[in-house]
Amino acid sequence: MTASPDRYAVIGHPVDHSRSPDIHAAFARQTGQTLVYERLPAAPDAFAATVAAFFAEGGAGLNVTLPFKGEAAAYADRLTDRARRAGAVNTLAREDDGTLLGDNTDGIGLARDLERQLQIPIAGSRILILGAGGAVRGVIPVLFEHGAAAIHVANRTAAKAEAMAADFTDLGDIGGGALSRATGGWDIVVNAISAGLTGETPDVSPAVLDDARGAYDMIYADQPTPFLRWVAEHGIERRCDGFGMLVEQAAESFALWRGVHPQTADVIAALRPGGDRHPS
Ligand code: ATR
């Protein structure tokens, strides 16, 4: 009798549009692994109960998406350093002794995709991040690990950006301030504002792009995102949306669970929803 395949899922609210099942199915085919990967919806107040039931029924690992990444960090028995620094977990893995390891692969996903798509090394770069939400906390430590020369976090609510920068001053040259006061001098501009950049808002000057060699939107869509259209209008040729980041963070989760790191380039090309990968 053959054992049933290991079970994985992505938990979130909502989770019905998640691309993770397609991505992990592609990785499984490519690496010859047999596994099941599904969507696991959970009501906002039912994260812990849903996770407990999933692992009690033999589940092997979970990806965690909005709004549960912070709760997942509190739920895990043990955290990797990068997950602890982020205060957020996007990957739970059941260990041999039955305990749960929490990891955060979002930052490494951004770093890998940004360097490959924009062809600009993070090492030595001055990086401006627009937005100071949970996603930003996950990427700052990894950008410094990759040698970022300086990071500035610009946010609508300036106090949040200042507080975030203060949390990471031990890692490198970092500052934070109001979005409306951000100026130029940055090699790479990364958008992490969840609403994207539409119409009159957010309140950010195109001067932030004055010295930019490339721009990366952590958000992705079927069409070029508002942020990518905005940077294109201001002459930034190297620009990319966040679909590759999604695939890269998934690859890192897959490696943690399965011990084998899948190739990502073909999966990004095959599954991308038609965004703005190449400069037009
Ligand atoms: P995530 O986990 O995806 O980072 P989040 O924690 O909800 O999402 O953070 C959303 C980010 O988008 C915040 O930086 C938020 O700014 P505030 O901290 O001032 O709320 C930013 N944001 C959302 N809508 C915005 C808008 N219309 N203009 C400027 N910033 C906006």
- CATH code of residue 180: 3.40.50.720
Shared domain for 93 and 111, answered yes or no, is: no
92 and 126, same domain (yes or no): no
Distance (Å, rounded) from C-alpha 184 to C-alpha 171?
23
Determine which residue's CA is closest to atom 28 belonging to ligand 1: 202
CA distance 235 to 242: 20
pLDDT of residue 223: 87
Q: What is the pLDDT of residue 280?
A: 32
pLDDT surpassing 50 at residue 275: no
156 Cα nearest atom in ligand 1: 19
Tell me, yes or no, whether 271 lies in a domain: no
Question: What is residue 276's predicted lDDT score, i.e. its pLDDT?
Answer: 45
User: For residue 171, what are its two tokens?
Assistant: 């890692």
- Assign residue 16 the CATH number of its domain: 3.40.50.10860
The pLDDT score that the predictor gives to residue 134 is 85
Please state, in angstroms and rounded to a whole number, the distance separating the CA atoms of residues 94 and 105: 16
Residues 73 and 123 in one domain: no
Looking from the CA of residue 66, the nearest atom of ligand 1 is 2
Whether residue 35 is found in the same domain as residue 148: no
Tell me: the pLDDT tens digits for 217-242? 999 888 888 899 999 999 999 999 99
In the predicted structure, residue 264 carries a pLDDT above the cut 70: yes
- Tell whether the model's pLDDT for residue 199 goes beyond 70: no
Which atom of ligand 1 is nearest the CA belonging to 218? 3
Domain with 223, as residue range(s), is 107-243
- Residue 90 clears pLDDT 60, i.e. is over it: yes
In a domain, 233, yes or no: yes
Domain total of the chain: 2
**Residue position matching structure tokens 């937005």:** 131
> Considering 24, 69, 82, 137, which one is annotated as catalytic?
69
One domain, residues 93 and 79:
yes
Is it the case that residue 94 has pLDDT exceeding 90?
yes
| Domain contains 278 | no
In the three-class reduction of DSSP (H, G, I as helix; E, B as strand; rest coil), residue 238 is classed as coil
Give the CA distances from residue 250 to residues 13, 41, 98, 205, in Å, rounded to whole numbers and listed in that order.
Answer: 18, 18, 22, 34
Higher pLDDT, 195 or 139: 139
Same domain flag for 117 and 208: yes
**Distance between Cα 235 and ligand 1 center (Å):** 25
Q: Is 251 contained in some domain?
A: no
The predicted-structure confidence for 16-36, as pLDDT tens digits, reads as follows 999 999 999 999 999 999 999
Residue of the nearest CA to atom 5 in ligand 1?
A: 133
The residues lining ligand 1, judged by C-beta closer than 6 Å to any ligand atom, are 131-136, 155-157, 160, 192-195, 201-202
In this structure, are strands 35-41 and 78-79 parallel, antiparallel, or unpaired? unpaired
Task: Tell whether 158 and 232 lie within a shared domain.
Answer: yes
- Has 69 been annotated as catalytic? yes
Distance CA 133, CA 243 (A): 19
Distance CA 39, CA 51 (A): 12
Q: Whose CA is nearest to atom 26 of ligand 1?
A: 202
For residue 219, being part of any structural domain is answered with yes
Let me know if residue 154 belongs to a domain. yes
Record the tokens describing residue 113, joined without a space: 């995709």
